[in-house]
Amino acid sequence: MIPAANRFDSDLDGILADSEHLLDGWRVAAPDPSDRFTIARLTALLREHERAGRGWAGASVDDVLVEVSEAGLRMRENVVVRDPDGEIRAWGSVHDRAEGRMLFVHVVERGLSDDLADACAGLLFSWADEQARSVGAARELEVQQIDTGAFADDARQHDWLEQAGFRRVRTWFQMSRPVSPDDAGMVPDPAGWQRGDVTIRRVRRRDEDGLPDSVDLHAVHQVLEQAFRDHFNSWEETFGEFVHRVREDPGHRWDHWWLAELAHEDLDGIGPIPVGALVGTHLESSRGRDGSYVSYIGVLDDARGRGVAKALLHTIIADAAARGRDRVGLEVDADSPTGARGLYESLGWKTSYVTESWHRDVPVA
């Protein structure tokens, strides 16, 4: 289960009061999620960061609230850096993502002079190191990984990461596929359909309250855990952690979850076996029509070669078309051993931009 209180250190005076990177008159504090001006400022900083890194902004207030809201803080900690006038110039967020893996977001205002920007970045990296030690100690680890991301063309971010001892470990293609109304006929019914011994269906919902069936949710979690067990930087995540984290996504919708089941004649009386899962989300757009996004798709090893992944992808495409959406997005590992990129390209996906994973291992002691 997720913890009642997070594992991070909230004592900023103890962590950063004597930091060499804290300039005279500047101060650090936790952002107030109830202050709309703070949320607006963080949203503006994040959108500015995206424009500089990939050419356009997509972040919304909801994306910021995922990091700083009361619910988000169950697994996160945040810090903002204010100048002598009280203006927020930088923001850092850490996320206790899974045992051994801590995510780190670091955003520094683009208009700052190099010396001020460097000082803000140094402060955020020092803070992240201390938070890694805190969460690692709480989980009784010897080493805590910090996992952060950068746009492939963001030279400023790359320089800071290298100076802070991070290493570039992975490249990710952010892909998108256009959707037309005709794609609604790609499968008989996105709610449920069958081809041969494989059935694709939405996660069942309870009649009394519309919440998903717990057996189906556990099946999705188990399939994804097994499917990604040997993938890059995969860390075990409890069922409670998984559901809590996925529900935080602003685009979360229970009717965007699908299971793939395989019938076995030699398993008479047991019923179909879950062998694949897809968790999708709703992409709200301020630039046109909305889209859908493949947050997770996994197929068990024993079921590969049966077209399960393609059937799940066809389903979310048809579902997006039926909802009047114009695209389906996803992320793929550039070095995936499964050849996933080839499958996506064969179904019409193209790379929109590229991101990178950077890691640093922090000794907890």
Q: Do residue 150 and residue 179 come from a single domain?
A: no
Q: Do residue 199 and residue 52 come from a single domain?
A: no
> What pLDDT is attached to residue 214?
95
Q: Do residue 260 and residue 229 come from a single domain?
A: yes
Residues 6+ apart with CB under 8 A from 160: 106, 118, 121, 125
- Rounded-to-integer distance, Cα 12 and Cα 31, Å: 12
Q: Do residue 160 and residue 179 come from a single domain?
A: no
- ∠86-91-96 over CA atoms, to 5°? 140
> What pLDDT is attached to residue 232?
66
> What pLDDT is attached to residue 210?
85
pLDDT tens digits, 225-254: 999 887 766 667 889 889 988 998 999 999
The domain boundary residue, chosen from 101, 132, 165:
165
> What pLDDT is attached to residue 1?
47
- What single-letter DSSP state applies at residue 72? G
Q: Do residue 232 and residue 210 come from a single domain?
A: yes
Q: Do residue 97 and residue 195 come from a single domain?
A: no
In a domain, 332, yes or no: yes
In a domain, 331, yes or no: yes
Residues 6+ apart with CB under 8 A from 207: none
Q: Do residue 154 and residue 236 come from a single domain?
A: no
> What pLDDT is attached to residue 314?
98
The position carrying tokens 């997770």 is: 296
Q: Do residue 266 and residue 126 come from a single domain?
A: no
CATH number at residue 130: 3.40.630.30
In a domain, 7, yes or no: no
In a domain, 245, yes or no: yes
In a domain, 364, yes or no: no
Q: Do residue 124 and residue 235 come from a single domain?
A: no
- Rounded-to-integer distance, Cα 97 and Cα 137, Å: 15
Pairing of strands 350-363, 167-178: antiparallel
Q: Do residue 202 and residue 112 come from a single domain?
A: no
Tell me which residue range forms the domain holding 152. Answer: 12-165
The domain boundary residue, chosen from 145, 165, 185:
165
Burial of 335 (0-12, 13-18, 19+ CB in 10 A): exposed
> What pLDDT is attached to residue 305?
85
Q: Is the dihedral of CA 131, 115, 164, 64 positive or negative?
A: positive
In a domain, 201, yes or no: yes
The position carrying tokens 């695209």 is: 327
Whether 333 contacts 345, CB under 8 Å: no
Q: Do residue 59 and residue 181 come from a single domain?
A: no
- Rounded-to-integer distance, Cα 82 and Cα 23, Å: 10
The residue ranges of the chain whose pLDDT is under 50 are 1
In a domain, 365, yes or no: no
In a domain, 281, yes or no: yes
Q: Do residue 161 and residue 256 come from a single domain?
A: no
Of 26, 59, 62, 32, residue with least CA distance to 45: 59
The domain boundary residue, chosen from 103, 134, 165:
165
Q: State the DSSP string of 190-240.
A: TTEEEETTEEEEEPPB-TTT-PBPHHHHHHHHHHHHHHTTTSTT-----HH
Dihedral in degrees, nearest 10, Cα atoms 297, 226, 147, 175: -20
Dihedral in degrees, nearest 10, Cα atoms 163, 166, 169, 175: -80
Rounded to the nearest integer, the mean pLDDT of the chain is 92
The position carrying tokens 């963001």 is: 154
Look up residue 347 and give its two tokens.
Answer: 């179904």
Domain count, the chain: 2
> What pLDDT is attached to residue 340?
85
